[in-house]
Structure formats: C-alpha cells, structure tokens
Chain A
Amino acid sequence: MTFQEIILSLQQFWKSHDCIISQPYDTEKGAGTFNPATFLRAIGPEPWRSAYIEPCRRPTDGRYGDNPNRLQHYFQYQVVLKPAPADPQDLYLQSLSHLGLDPYQHDIQFLQDDWESPTLGAWGLGWEVRLDGMEITQFTYFQEVGSLEMNPVTVELTYGLERIAMYLQEVDSVYDLLWTENVRYGELYHESEVQWSIYNFEVADINLLQSSFDRYEQECQQLLEHPRGLVLPAYDCCMKCSHFFNVLDARGAISVAQRTGYIGRVRNLARKCAQAYFEQREGMGFPLLHKKNQSPRAKVRKKR
C-alpha cells in the first residue's frame, strides 16, 4: 500500500463512519490537535465527528535528512469524535484492518499514555497504541482543552502515518517509503528536511522570531477584545505564536527558564481563545447542536 493509498484508505474508512473529512489547516502547527477542527470544535456541547490529514512541524526533530526515523515535517492522520462513542477502540481496530493490519495477526497493545499539551492548556487520558512493539497511534479522551472541561468528552485518534507506512511497506527508512508506485517519500521531502533543518537550527532570524512572537501575541489579545468578535483570527495568532516558539526553541534561543514563560504565554492565548469561542458559539445557540445526521454530504450542501 503506497503512502497516498494509506491516506485514502483512512479517509474512506472514517467517511463511512460519519466523519466530516476536514482539510489540513493552512497555518504551521506542531500537531493535528492545533487544527481548529480539533481544538475549537472539541469545545462546547455541539457534536462533531471529523477526520483529516495534517502536516505537522516540529523544528527540534529535524535531523538534516540524516535520520531514517525522524523528521521536522511529517503527517498525522487525525480523527475526532464528539461525543466519544461507546466503541472507539473497536472502530480504531477496524480502521487498522481496513489498512491491511489484521488485529488477529499482530500484537496490538494499548499502553497507558497520559497526554498533556501545556501550550494548549489541554490534557486527556488514553494510550499509545503499539503494533508489534511500534507506537503507531495516540488515543486520547480529552478532559480539558484550553483549560475548559470537556462536556461531552471528545476522543482523539492520531495516527503516525509514516510509522504505519514503514511497517506496511517493510522499509527501514522513512525516505524509502513509496508515496506512489514510482515516487518515494524521500524524493518529495528529503531536500525539504535538509533545508528546513539548516534554517531552523542555524539560520532563522532570532530577532524576527522573537518580535513576531510578541506582535502576534499582542494581535491575538487585541482581536479577542475586538467588538466584532474576531475569535477565529485570534486563534490563528495563537497558533503562530506556538510555531514561532517552536522555531526559537530549535534555534537554541530559549533558555530552560524562559521556556516555561513562553509556554505560559501561548497557553494564556489558547485559554482566552477557547473561552471566547465557547461564548461565541453559545451566543449563536450552538448551531450544530441539533444536526442529527452530521455527514460529509450535509456539510457540502450547506457550504453551497
């Protein structure tokens, strides 16, 4: 199964389980959780089922394209189900079968993982799922997001696509993965790993990043106070800050003590955005609350 077939298979599977196939969000982010389709939609009582692929950036994980297992830019497949259904583990195992990973053939274990995102003011309990000893998915029941208690609870599944693909294709280097029958992952992304590693670790302009952080932080605060309720743009600014922090971190420009400070600043924005989003949706009467058949088709119709 090629990399793109894996993606398509998951899209197909979760579409058939009433998920809205959302799209990657067009701002840099460290994890699919940052996508408003997860972070914001998890907030409040409105039901939400969505699945999407998300390119993620973790500048500190860059290895100049030298390490076969580590990338500063990689892909997650993200599924969020709210309220959490009664059988999310079964659904998940079915999705693996759909990928050709037969749970009856392999050893699939759910190992304790207490998930926490200090920048998002979020935490949850769940597992890392191991397939024959390899971590392939994070499985989390959100308890708080943006410091708001979840009610109902959202369950989040995050598939590590490269890991799964490496297993399925039996290759030892991520760069050897077949994206299509003819084109390898490395051909598409190796050069990008090299250049971005150089940029993140050596070249990125620290002053620019620092002042961008400060200014986006300010912008976020101002947007949150804007009389016309610009919560969504505000949250984009919060994501920007998180990304600038990540690059500063990779650039070695953040001391241990400053770290906590920066994280606290992003969390503060995330909290405010979460609160403002909740209030805004509440003001709108939680529009998705009574949408019984929340299916991709319904969504498309509405957009037209």
Chain B
Amino acid sequence: MAPPQKTTKKLNAASSRKGQVASLPLLVEIGTEEIPTTLLPQALQDLALLSEALFSDCRLNYKQIRTIGTSRRLALMVDGVQSKQLSLSQQITGPPKSAAFDASGSPTKAAQGFAKSQGVSVEELTLKETPKGLYLTAEKYQRGESAKKVLTSSLPVYLAKLIFSKAMRWNNSQTKFARPIRWIAVILGHQVLKIEFAGLISGGVTWGHRYFRIKGKKGAQNVSLSNAANYIATMKKLGVLVDPDERRAEITSQIGKLAKLGKGEIDPLYRQELIDEAVWGVEHPHAILGTFQKEFLTLPKPVLISSMKEHQGFLSLVGNDGGLLPKFIAITNTPWGNTKLITKGNERVLSARLKDAQYFFLEDQKQPLHERVQALEGIIFHHKLGTMRQKVERVQELAGWMALRLGQNNISDLCHRAGLLSKADLTTGMVGEFPSLQGVMGEEYARHDGEPQEVCLAIGEHYLPRFPDDSLPTSSPGLLVACADRCDSIASFFSVGMVPTGSEDPLGLRRAAYGLVRIVSETALRLNLVEMFEQMIQILTKQGVGQGHPQTVSEIMGFIMDRLRFYGRTTMGLRDDVMEAVIRVRPHGTADVGDLLSRMRAVQSMVGLDDFETLMVGFKRAHRIVEKERWNQTGVNPERFQHESESRLFQVFEKAQQEVSHGVATGDYAGVLKSLLTFKSAIDEFFATVLVNDPESAIRENRLSLLTAIDRLFLNIADFSCIQSASTDVG
C-alpha cells in the first residue's frame, strides 16, 4: 500500500528573458466528411470543454476558447495562448523518517518505492520538517515547455476524447468519429504544428466549400492557411460561412425575403426546427423559392406538411388566412449553382411525392372507415394477443363502459364509435406511406365519411400524448378512447406475462402508462384505475385473449404507481419517500391518481417544517410501539386514564378524527395535515409523562389502544413512517 502522499504545487510563469513569451492565436480545424446535423452542436460544445481541460491540465494560459464549424469542419479557435507552458515546482511528501530508514540508516523499501514512484533516485530525496515530524520529500521541478511542444503532444490525446453517440471507423487508425476525418490543420500564430491523429498528420492546409471554385485555381481546391487569425474571413473567401450564427442570420434573412417575394409567411409550425437543421446542414446557405401545383392544396394540411417537411426539409408558406400557399422554400448548400435548374429539380421531387399522396388520398376515400374495420383482422396486434380488429373491439367496449361509469351517458355511444374506428386508418394507403399520420388521417377520413364531429376528433386525439410533454386530448370522448387504448395495451400484455423489465420499453408500455397517468392527473377525469383495469381484464377474458389472473390487476397497479412516481418526481418535484408514504396507504380496490397526487402535495408541503419534524418524532415512536406489540385494538376507555396527558391526547384525537374524516371526504388534505399537527405537543407530553408499559395490564392495554387509534388516523392519509426525517435517522 502506498503511503499517503501530500503534494504542494507552485506554478510559475516562464521567465520572460529574451522576451520569449508571447501571446498567440491557435487554430485547429478538423476537416471531415458530412457530420450529421444532430451531432454537431454537441460536438462543438464537447470540443470546447475538452480544450479547456487540455489547457488547464497542460498549464497553458489563454484568453478565450471558441468553437465553430459546419458539417465538414470542426474548428477550435483559442485567443491569447501563452507561447510557453507554466513551470511547476512540486514538493511531494513521502513516508516519515522512521519508516524511510532502517536501523543502519539505509533507505527502506518504502523509501525506495517512494523514490521510484516519483521518478527520482533515493539520493535526491530530502528530509523535511513538518508539524508531524521529519518526512521524506521529493522535490520536483518541471520547466515550462513551449506551447508548440505541449500542444503537439497533447492535442491528439484530447481530440481522441471527442466521442459521438454513433461513431464509425474508416481507416487503419481504427479511430472512431461521427464520419471520416480527411484533414487536420493546426496553426499556432504563424507556425504549422504537426500532430498525428486518426491516421493523419496535420498541416496548414484547408479545403474550401465543395462546390466553390477558387478563381484561377485548377485541380484540388485546397489552400494553405498562413496564420491562425482571420480564419473566419479566410474561409469566407473559400465559400464557407464557418460561423453557425452567421449562417443562421443568412438563412433567416434569405427566407424572409423569399417569403415576401412569395406573398406569404413562413409557416411557424416547424420553422425553427427546419432552420436549425439547415444551419448545420450547409456550409453556405442559399434559399430558393419553389412552387407546386395548386390542385394539391385540396390535400389535408398535415399531408402537405409531411411531404414537405419530413421528406424534403422544405419550409412551407402560409397566406394571410393562415392557409398553405402552393409554395415552399428549400435551403440549398450552394449559391454558385444553377438556381433555376436546382429549383426545378426540387419542384419535381415534391410534385412526385404529392402525386403519390394524392393518389392515396383519393383511393383511401373510396372505402369508408367503418368498412375498413374488418380489414384490421389482417393486422396482427401481437401474436399472443390477436389482431388489431380484436383490439379495437376491446377499446370500443371499455371506452363506452368508462363513459357510463363516469355518468357521462350522453357520450357513451360516441366513445364506442370512436373506439371502433380508432385504428381503421392503419389500413389506408396514406398511413402506409406516412406512418406519422396515423390518427390524423383517421380523423380526416371520418369527416369525409360524415361521422359525428366528436367521433372524428376523438379518432385524431386518441394518440395523444405521443411523447412526454405532448398535449392531451381536448374532448371527453378523445380522453376516454385515449385511456381505453392505453389501458388495453397494458392489460393485454400483462395478461400474457409480457411485463417490461429493465430500462427497455419495446412495447411502449411505459409510455402508455405515463400517458395514462398524465391524462387522469391533469384532467377532471376521476377514473378509478383499479376498476378500469378489472373491467379490461374481464373484456380480455371474454374475448379469450390472454390469461388474466387475479394477480394481474395488482401487478399492473404496481407498474402504474411506478410511472406515477416518475411523474411526481419529474413534473412536481415530489419526494420519493413522500410518494411512497401515500401510495402505501392507497385504499384497496381503488386508484384515483389525481387524489393520490393531492395527498402527496399536501404531505410534502409539511415535510421539513419544524413542527412537523417534531410531530414525526412522537408519531414514529407511537408507530413503533404499536408495530412491536402488534396491537390491533382501538377501543379506548377514558376512565382508565391515569394521567392528564392521556386525556389531553385523547381529546386531541377525538377532535382530529372528525376533521380528518371530513378532510378526506372533501379532498381538503391541507386541512387534514393541519389537524394532524395538533397532536404535536400532546404526543410529546404523553411520552414525557407516562410509561406505556404500565405494570397493570388494563392501563397498558388502554394506552396501546389509544396509540393504535392515533396511528390508524394518521394512516388515513399516508404511512408517515416511510418519511425520512430531515435531521435524524429514522432507524
């Protein structure tokens, strides 16, 4: 075992004799093949952080670090790099004298080991007086090296730390990077540094924009950078806007002008997303305005948007009335090309896509949705769970039942209908082509078929929320079908034992449960989830699908409670112990998520208050006694009280009991907590003045019953014994 070592360090700026130390700009450009746009912002951030680490680890001072780039180059620009590294003197304390030398005064193994570990000979070690006595000490001095030398050896090490979520190899170096690196330029001041990385040796040469011809230059379009300053300006001369902010400004201004020219405005829906994509996708943006045939405007807007945005990355234009114009803006990567030709090409691609979409749209409408339900028999939901046809039958039945159960008899039929038609659009050509339009097309086609307004909306909305912070359905039938659909997925997979394990969610059940939690907690739906899942299991059993067993519902509830915990933690900042305390006392046979959350919030608002902490000390003492004695009687006989503190506690109990039952009935949990707080001094006084374990059993039993009654009263809202105390360990 190495002896404990203490190190004192002293950094010294290199002496400035001969005027050696200068302040220089550094440029590192990593030239690549096109790096995916989604990886670039992170890569530039990481590059900046790694550079900071490099400069600090290498004792090199600098003024400022900046990283910029495009899909074809990551550039690190550092201002004011000191041309010399700081020197370092270190004193490292080793073993004490007594352990360092043997009786004969020769160095021991410990001394030798220490010398070896410090890379010095034993003779070079000195003894140093410390408050604890004499200790062996190694003095080390590292002279500051030139920045050139330090950077040449360190840059490859730090560049190798740049990692990507998806990386590849391409040459013998076996380096992993987002895409192949093709050149590296490193310049410190005016000096080219030769570093070795990814099988390449750096130089001072860069390449300009792929499609920019340098005047008078033939062959390879590479250029020597003469110095590290003016990089941005130099690249501009080579056709590259290397600063992303400049590209963004350029794009914004160009598309603004084109929108005006097209007598419209950029559709705000995906504007930002598409601009971001373009900023990182091109080295020199050039926006073009294209058109498509007016006849395609009869297609639903989501279809047009999908064709333009998802497939082509086009921005769409809207007119004064907010409707789409038959125009689009594409952001190309070349201002030097033949704009007319490029525009025509983009128009043709979009036109072909829209023609496809139009074909599907017209074909799909030839068969009404309700006739398509039959065809869902051909789509397997899951091989253990039958077809989509069977699924919609279950969803339909449950959604209708839920409406009745909630007393919303008037919408039961609508829910039933919407449930039946909810997945029918899966059989349409359009959804086959654009899977992201599921639901959207169902709603569209249902309107065309003349289905009731609420049914159409519910079909479209029942997929909401699609992702954690997506919006929720707006209509009651939409909400109920959304719940029924999720309930069906969860219950059916659980009933065949396909329960999510680990962190994976291949069947989307966690997402489904989370959506369910959000719907029932953020809307006025007061659904009893236990009842709902019991009903679902019955429906499954009736259909002969799965083997629902009595345990299934409680397993499902455990799974839902897990999602509830996640939801409470991430969106409301609820503590795990608080949530656990409330979930533990959840009345058997019901699960009203909204109610559980109100309880949790009420409990959490008290936790940490001094009064509450004090109360908890008394409560937990009472709880432990009751638990230890396994006492289960609550009949208290006031005549057996021996001490005033007993009667006082009983009085507080009787009053609180009324308030608690009223509070629980009305959902006024803040009130409940407030009345529980009234126990604080009474409990303390009780324990201070009486001994529960009275020798006379009648007195003892009466006290136990009082404590048990109080314990049960607290359990009405939460199992407070799970709550971690702020100051003391609960034990």
Q: Give A residues with C-beta under 8 Å from B.
A: 67-69, 83-84, 86-87, 89, 93, 103-112, 114, 124-127, 131-134, 141, 143, 150-153, 155, 167, 172, 252, 255-258
Q: How far in angstroms is the closest Cβ of chain A from B707?
A: 57
Q: Give min CB distance, B218 to chain A, whole Å.
A: 13
Q: Which one of B36, B170, B345, B382 contacts A106 once the chains associate, using CB atoms below 8 Å?
A: B345
Query: Contact partner of A133 among B182, B338, B346, B356, CB < 8 A?
Result: B346
| A86 proximity list for chain B (CB < 8 A) | 171, 182
The interface-forming segment of B79-87, B99-107, B327-335 is B327-335
10 contacts between A and B (CB under 8 A): A68-B352, A84-B170, A84-B180, A106-B342, A108-B333, A110-B71, A125-B168, A134-B348, A255-B383, A257-B383
New A-B contacts (10) at CB < 8 Å, excluding given A125-B167, A151-B169: A69-B356, A89-B33, A106-B341, A107-B333, A107-B345, A108-B333, A110-B71, A133-B349, A150-B169, A258-B383
For residue A52, give the distance in angstroms from its CB to the closest CB of chain B: 23
- Counting CB contacts under 8 A, is B166 at the interface? yes
Residue from B36, B167, B182, B350 with most neighbouring chain A CB atoms (10 Å)? B36
Q: How far is the CB of A92 from chain B (nearest CB, A)?
A: 11
* 8 smallest beta-carbon distances between A and B, as pairs: A132-B345, A255-B380, A257-B383, A112-B36, A107-B332, A133-B346, A110-B34, A125-B168
Which residue from chain B places its CB closest to the CB of A252 in the assembled complex? B378
Q: How far is the CB of A89 from chain B (nearest CB, A)?
A: 6
Tell me whether A67 and B359 are in contact in the complex, defined as CB-CB below 8 angstroms, given that A108-B211, A133-B330, A153-B171 are known contacts.
Answer: yes
Judge whether A133 and B345 touch: CB under 8 Å. yes
**B residues adjacent to A (C-beta < 8 A):** 33-34, 36-38, 71, 166-172, 174, 178-180, 182, 210-211, 213, 281-282, 286, 312, 330, 332-334, 336-338, 341-342, 344-346, 348-352, 355-356, 359, 378-384
Q: Point out the residues of chain A lying under 8 angstroms from B211, CB to CB.
A: 103-104, 108
Cβ contacts under 8 Å, A111 to chain B: 34, 281
Expressed in whole angstroms, the Cα–Cα distance for A255 and B380 within the complex equals 6
Whether B171 pairs with A83 at a CB distance below 8 angstroms is yes
Chain B residues near A172 (CB-CB < 8 A): 348, 351-352
Asked if B168 contacts A124 (CB within 8 A), the reply is: yes
Closest-CB distance, A129 to chain B (whole angstroms): 10
Chain B residues contacting A133 (CB-CB under 8 Å) are 312, 330, 345-346, 349-350
The minimal Cβ–Cβ distance linking B33 to chain A, given in whole angstroms, is: 6
Q: Which residues of A contact B337 (CB under 8 A)?
A: 104-107
Set of chain A residues within 8 Å of B171, measured between Cβ atoms? 83-84, 86, 152-153
State in angstroms the CA–CA spacing of A112 and B379 once bound together: 32
Given A103-B211, A105-B338, A134-B345, also A112-B170 (CB < 8 A): no
**Cα(A131)–Cα(B337), bound, Å:** 12
Q: Please state if A109 and B281 are interface contacts (CB–CB under 8 Å).
A: yes
Q: Which residues of B contact A105 (CB under 8 A)?
A: 337-338, 341
| Chain A residues whose C-beta falls within 8 Å of the C-beta of B333 in the assembled complex | 107-109
> What is the CA–CA distance of A53 and B179 in the complex, to the nearest angstrom?
27
Contact between A107 and B281, CB atoms less than 8 A apart: no
Residues of B within 8 A of A114 (CB): 166
Q: Give every chain B residue within 8 A of A151 (Cβ-Cβ).
A: 169, 174
- Cα-based distance from A93 to B221 in the complex (angstroms): 14
Q: Which residues of B contact A257 (CB under 8 A)?
A: 380, 382-384
In the assembly, what is the distance between CA of A269 and CA of B169, in Å? Answer: 26
Measured CB to CB, the nearest residue on chain A to B183 is A86
| With A84-B170, A109-B333, A256-B379: A103-B210 Cβ-Cβ less than 8 Å | yes
* Docked pose: A101 CA to B381 CA in angstroms: 47
Task: Determine whether the beta carbon of B380 is less than 8 Å from that of A256.
Answer: yes
- Do the beta carbons of B179 and A125 come within 8 Å of each other? yes
Contact B34 A127 (CB under 8 A): yes
Closest CB in chain B relative to A104 CB, distance in Å: 6
Task: Give the contacting residue for B172; candidates A125, A131, A152; CB below 8 A.
Answer: A152
**Would you give the shortest CB distance from A195 to chain B, in whole angstroms?**
21
Contact, CB under 8 Å: A107 / B334: yes
CB distance from B310 to the nearest CB of A (A): 13
Residues of A within 8 A of B359 (CB): 67
B338 x A256 contact (CB < 8 A):
no
Contacts of A256 in B (CB 8 A): 379-383
How many whole Å from A132's CB to the nearest CB in chain B? 3
A126 and B180 alpha carbons, distance in the complex (Å): 10
Residues in chain A near residue B345, CB distance under 8 A: 106-107, 131-134, 167
* CB of A50 to closest CB in B, whole Å: 19
- Which residue, A107, A131, A172, A255, has most C-beta atoms of chain B within 10 A? A107
Contact B380 A107 (CB under 8 A): no
Alpha-carbon gap, A152 to B178, bound state (A): 17
Chain B neighbourhood of A68, CB < 8 A:
352, 355
Cβ–Cβ contact A104 & B336, under 8 A: yes
CB atoms of B33 and A106 under 8 A apart: no
Q: Which residues of B contact A93 (CB under 8 A)?
A: 210
